[in-house]
Structure 1
Amino acid sequence: MRAFKAALEQGTPDAVYLLHGDNEFLKDEKVADIIVRLVDPATRDFNLDLLRASDLDAGRLSAVLDALPLMAERRVVVLRDPGGLKKDARVVLDRYLAKPARETVLVLVAPSAWKPEPSLMDRASTVELRSLTEAEAVSWIVMRVASLDVSIDQDAASLLVRSTGPDLALIDGELRKLRDYAGGGPITTEAIQAIVGVRAGETSSDLLDAVCSRDGVRASGLVPLILSQPKSTGVSLVMSLTTHLLGIGQVLVARRSRVSPRQLSGDLYAMMGESRSAVVGRPWGEAVTAWTRHADHWDEPAVERALHLLRAADGALKESSLSSDEQILSTLILAMCQTQRIHAA
């Protein structure tokens, strides 16, 4: 990523770039950055082609790739979903990649579901743009607000991520509203409470902590507040709770096996990193801390029962039209926490 940024800043881009990963927002931003830095607005109509594989035949693609820049040093060609090219068009692309033109910067943009193809990755400068962790999203916010000529403190940035998750498109929209609300001043937690509608102590992280500590009354009381926040759904909360119970279960197994705290921490981070489908619902460091801190509230049978309840709730959320998400989640959480009381008794 640093080499990519430096090449654009110095005006010495590589001939072919391949942008891939599951972060569509960052991919679109990188494409826009390439265009701004490498294409003169005065000649953009002649030296910029934005293509989609499904719309191309071999003749059209060959003509675009063979074209020379007009009244400019270079031209830029952006091709989205290169894996979707028809066979004859793919032959044209492969032939071009074997000997790319010096006057053209070809940007291949793979969709999030794209499976890496060595024939493309070996002949392009690859840039992976994956979804950010919550901690990375906080750092991204700090950099983003600087470009908007405002500032934000760390607590406010963390609160925003806790309410939106690491969805950069959603965060970007909220930041623009917050900038206008702040009127040139810093973005504070009070501003986020006013605009985004979330308060400290009323985030998904707080709900997850309450469940981990088996405080069912507090956790169920937070359900309607969390569901009213942006991008928060019953299904996403169940997925986050499932990840947390799996984490607590791994802590219990590790302690039974006398795994060292340091190795355990590494194993927990690895578990989240290996499962891209896992929805953690908070910064990874916070999750690991919660699992290790609250594992003593659980035993392995209790975790298994909670996971069974979560599977049932997930099915109910996706199929039931009789109960609301709030009812299903509140019942689920109270049942999960009741297990501790029965066990203690």
Structure 2
Amino acid sequence: MAVPGAAVRRCSGLESESGSGLARGRSPSTDSGEAPGRQGATTNDRKPGLLPRALTAAKDGGVFFLHGGDEYRKAVAAGALLERYADPATEAFNVDRLVGTETTVERLASIIATPPMMASWRVVLVKETEGLAASPKAREVVLDAARKPPPGLVLILQATVPSRSKAKFYRDLARAATAVEFKPVPPDSVPGWLVTWAREELGVTVEIEAAQALAGAAGTELGMLTQEVSKLAEMVGEGAAVDLDAVRRGGIRLPSQDRWAWFDLVGNRRIGEAANGLPVLLAQGESVIGLVIGLSSQLLRIGVAIEGGVPALQAALPPYQRFLARRIVAQAQRWTRSELADAVRGLRRLDQLLKASAIPGEVLMEEWLLGLTVRRREGRR
């Protein structure tokens, strides 16, 4: 089964889409947020527990534009920049925190123009920078600082760009500043992200089953999940892993069937167990559409593994999911190319029927699962 690499990565979440509305019109080399003369990145290109390369490589201060839909990682990056550049001994004189929707243009301009006092850097953190976009004078102040930063200035701009915004201000700012777009981690990728975050930030091993159960119980909001993992790591003690039992002992009520374990049942061709778990998942609030999306990702990753093995899969997976490569390759050994191609075609048909048919989604999903077992039996004749 030939699997076009780029198409698979886009469809399955193996690779974040490069670029954004801010980067339209740039050459391909700048589609990930890189601007001419400046370094940019999307945070899906690096280890999630660390600053993006664009920020770690910046040594000379200047203006940082942190945008995108992931509020947690934006805040973490802003805090890390603040910690790197601010002198604790002179913080009262050299650190200003503003809110773009509340500050005046005059105050912003005055603070940006004020040099550091008895320190190397003056750090200005502006949250809700989108609040400045409506004022021509405010836009001019910010862009002037980005294009030619005053000596000693570190200006950190956090923004949530309005959906479908075509405002030239954001594009110009992304080109002039050190810009990083924080795209939300796809929900089905959150457990893998959490495992890697715990290892990089806490030095703690979180087993993938524990991360899946935790995300199934507490949701996929990263700030809440990192807090829960920190508590569990403290509970188990130094050197111990956070496993499924630790999550239970932590008083977290786990779902009877979590979606990621269910995807693994399908990947391992344990179809009877998957069929039995389907009503449980749906009763817990899962949607058939959500399961179709997750299954598409699972099967397409298996397709990459069939075609290229561990190296190909590791190259396609985001950094925070590469540790799953051998697990997925093991599932790939249970499928033939023709079986997988039939399963993907059947899933596409299921998706079309969900949109156009009055047949209940649960019935359609059960039919698809049954088809996997029928095709396996027919293939053995």
| Aligned: 1:106 with 2:160 | no
CA distance, structure 1, for counterparts of residue 212 and residue 342 of structure 2: 30
CA distance, structure 1, for counterparts of residue 344 and residue 329 of structure 2: 16
| Aligned: 1:123 with 2:176 | yes
CA distance, structure 2, for counterparts of residue 179 and residue 267 of structure 1: 30
Match of 2:368 in 1: 336
Q: Describe the superposition over 1:251-280 as per-residue Cα deviations: whole angstroms up to 9, x where unpaired.
A: 7xx99xxxxx3399749965x77xxxxxx9
CA shift for structure 1 position 90: 0.8
CA distance, structure 1, for counterparts of residue 92 and residue 180 of structure 2: 26
Structure-to-structure mapping, 1:129-168, within 5 angstroms: 129-131=182-184, 135=192, 137-146=194-203, 152-153=204-205, 156-163=206-213, 164=215, 168=222
CA distance, structure 2, for counterparts of residue 335 and residue 185 of structure 1: 46
Equivalent residue in structure 1 for 2:138, among 57, 76, 89 = 89
| Aligned: 1:306 with 2:347 | yes
CA distance, structure 2, for counterparts of residue 217 and residue 101 of structure 1: 66
Contact 1:214 1:337 in 2 (8 A): no
CA shift for structure 1 position 118: 5.2
Q: Describe the superposition over 1:179-203 as per-residue Cα deviations: whole angstroms up to 9, x where unpaired.
A: 343255624322124334559x965
Equivalent residue in structure 1 for 2:111, among 64, 78, 85 = 64
- Residues 312, 171 of structure 1: alpha-carbon distance in 2 compared, 3 angstrom cutoff: farther
Q: Which runs of 5+ in 1 are unaligned?
A: 147-151, 256-260, 274-279
CA shift for structure 1 position 103: 2.7
Contact 1:135 1:284 in 2 (8 A): no
SS at 1:298 equivalent:
helix
Match of 1:178 in 2: 232
CA shift for structure 1 position 105: 0.7
RMSD of equivalent CA atoms: 4.5
SS at 2:65 equivalent:
strand
SS at 1:49 equivalent:
strand
CA distance, structure 1, for counterparts of residue 179 and residue 120 of structure 2: 23
CA shift for structure 1 position 50: 2.8
CA shift for structure 1 position 106: 0.5
TM normalised by structure 2 equals 0.62
| Aligned: 1:75 with 2:129 | no
CA shift for structure 1 position 292: 6.2
Q: Describe the superposition over 1:4-61 as per-residue Cα deviations: whole angstroms up to 9, x where unpaired.
A: 4476xxxx54222223454432221121122234335565454333334344553343
CA distance, structure 1, for counterparts of residue 279 and residue 105 of structure 2: 54
- Residues 45, 332 of structure 1: alpha-carbon distance in 2 compared, 3 angstrom cutoff: farther
Match of 1:294 in 2: 335
Structure-to-structure mapping, 1:189-268, within 5 angstroms: 189=243, 190-195=245-250, 196=252, 203-223=258-278, 233-234=286-287, 236-245=290-299, 261-262=307-308, 266=312
CA shift for structure 1 position 141: 0.9
Structure-to-structure mapping, 1:7-86, within 5 angstroms: 13-40=60-87, 44-70=91-117, 72-80=119-127, 82=129, 85-86=133-134
TM normalised by structure 1 equals 0.67
Query: Which range moved further: 97-106 or 182-191?
Result: 182-191
CA distance, structure 2, for counterparts of residue 104 and residue 66 of structure 1: 8
**Percent same amino acid among aligned pairs?**
24
- Residues 126, 293 of structure 1: alpha-carbon distance in 2 compared, 3 angstrom cutoff: farther
CA shift for structure 1 position 313: 5.0
SS at 2:66 equivalent:
strand
Q: How many residues align?
A: 306
Contact 2:309 2:329 in 1 (8 A): no
Q: Match of 1:336, as an amino acid? A: W
CA distance, structure 2, for counterparts of residue 183 and residue 56 of structure 1: 45
Q: Describe the superposition over 1:133-163 as per-residue Cα deviations: whole angstroms up to 9, x where unpaired.
A: 55554232112224xxxxx33xx33223333
Q: Match of 1:262, as an amino acid? A: G
Q: Which runs of 5+ in 2 are unaligned?
A: 1-51
Contact 1:297 1:340 in 2 (8 A): no
- Residues 68, 47 of structure 1: alpha-carbon distance in 2 compared, 3 angstrom cutoff: same
